Chain A
Amino acid sequence: MKVLELTDIKKTFWKNKQCFSAVDGVSFSIEKGECVGLVGESGCGKSTVARMITRLEKTDSGEIFVNGENVTRCKGKALRDMYRHIQMVFQNPVDSFNPRLKLGSSIGEVLANFGTPRGEIKQKVERLLVQVGLEPAMAMRYPHEVSGGQCQRAAIARAIAIAPELLICDEATSALDVSVQAQIMELLFRLRKETQMSYLFISHDLALVQSICDRVLVMHRGRIVEAGDTREVIEHAAHPYTRLLLASVFPLHPDPQWKIPDVPTAQGEEGDACRFWQRCPSCGELCRTERPSLRKLNERHDVACHFAE
Chain B
Amino acid sequence: MASILEIEQLNVSYNGIPALQNVGLQAEKGEILGIVGESGSGKSTLLKAVIGLLGDNGRAESGRVVFEGTDLLRVPAKALRGIRGARLGMIFQNPGTSFNPIRKIGDQFLEAMRSHGKTDRTAAIQQILEMLARLGLRDGERILYSYPFELSGGMNQRVAIALAMILRPQLLLADEPTSALDVTVQAQCVKEMMDLRDSLGTTILLVTHNMGVVSYMADKVAVMYAGRIVEYGAKADVLNCPRHPYTRALIEAIPQIGGGAPKGIQGQPSAAKGTPDGCDFSSRCRFSDNICAFERPVMNDCGQGHAVFCHKCFSEVLHEGVRVNGY
Contacts and interface: CB of A to CB of B under 8 A. Distances in A.
Interface residues of B, number: 69
B262 A254 contact: no
B39 A147 contact: yes
Nearest to B191: A260
Interface centre among A135, A171, A177 (most CB of B within 10 A): A177
A175 B179 contact: yes
Interface stretch (A1-9, A64-72, A87-95): A87-95
Given A205-B255, A261-B187, A263-B184, A178 B209 contact: yes
A265 interface: yes
A267 B216 contact: no
Interface string A157-182: 00000000000000100111111111
Nearest to B178: A204
Interface string B136-148: 1010011001100
Contacts of B183: 204, 206, 245, 248-250
B182 A250 contact: no
Interface centre among A206, A250, A263 (most CB of B within 10 A): A250
A176 B211 CA distance: 12
A47 B268 contact: no
Interface centre among A175, A179, A182 (most CB of B within 10 A): A179
A207 B259 contact: yes
A149 interface: yes
Nearest to A146: B40
Given A179-B264, A182-B264, A150 B215 contact: no
A305 B324 CA distance: 35
Contacts of A146: 40
B298 interface: no
Contact of B239 (A47, A211, A253, A265): A253
Contacts of A253: 215, 239-240
B38 interface: yes
B181 interface: yes
A41 B184 contact: yes
Contact of A251 (B44, B153, B186, B212): B212
Given A182-B264, A211-B261, A204 B180 contact: yes
B83 to A, nearest CB: 24
Contacts of A265: 133, 136, 138
A204 B257 contact: no
B250 A176 contact: no
A234 B179 CA distance: 21
A289 interface: no
Contacts of A261: 184, 187
Contacts of A249: 183, 212, 257
B152 interface: yes
A183 interface: yes
Q: Contact size class for A?
A: 35 or more
Interface stretch (A12-20, A102-110, A290-298): A12-20
Given A42-B181, A254-B215, A260 B94 contact: no
A175 B176 contact: yes
Interface in B32-64: 36-40, 44-45, 55, 57
A252 B40 contact: no
A16 B44 contact: no
B270 to A, nearest CB: 8
B228 interface: no
A82 interface: no
A267 B250 CA distance: 41
30 contacts: A15-B145, A42-B154, A91-B153, A94-B96, A171-B153, A174-B180, A175-B39, A175-B179, A177-B38, A177-B209, A178-B253, A178-B254, A179-B264, A181-B264, A182-B255, A204-B181, A204-B182, A207-B254, A245-B182, A249-B212, A250-B183, A250-B215, A251-B215, A252-B254, A253-B239, A261-B187, A265-B136, A265-B138, A266-B138, A267-B138
Shortest Cβ-Cβ A-B pairs, 8 listed: A149-B39, A42-B154, A250-B212, A182-B264, A183-B264, A207-B255, A248-B183, A179-B253
Interface of A: 13, 15-16, 18, 20, 39-43, 46-48, 91-92, 94-95, 130, 133, 135, 144-150, 153, 171, 174-183, 185-186, 189, 204-208, 210-212, 234, 244-246, 248-254, 260-261, 263, 265-267
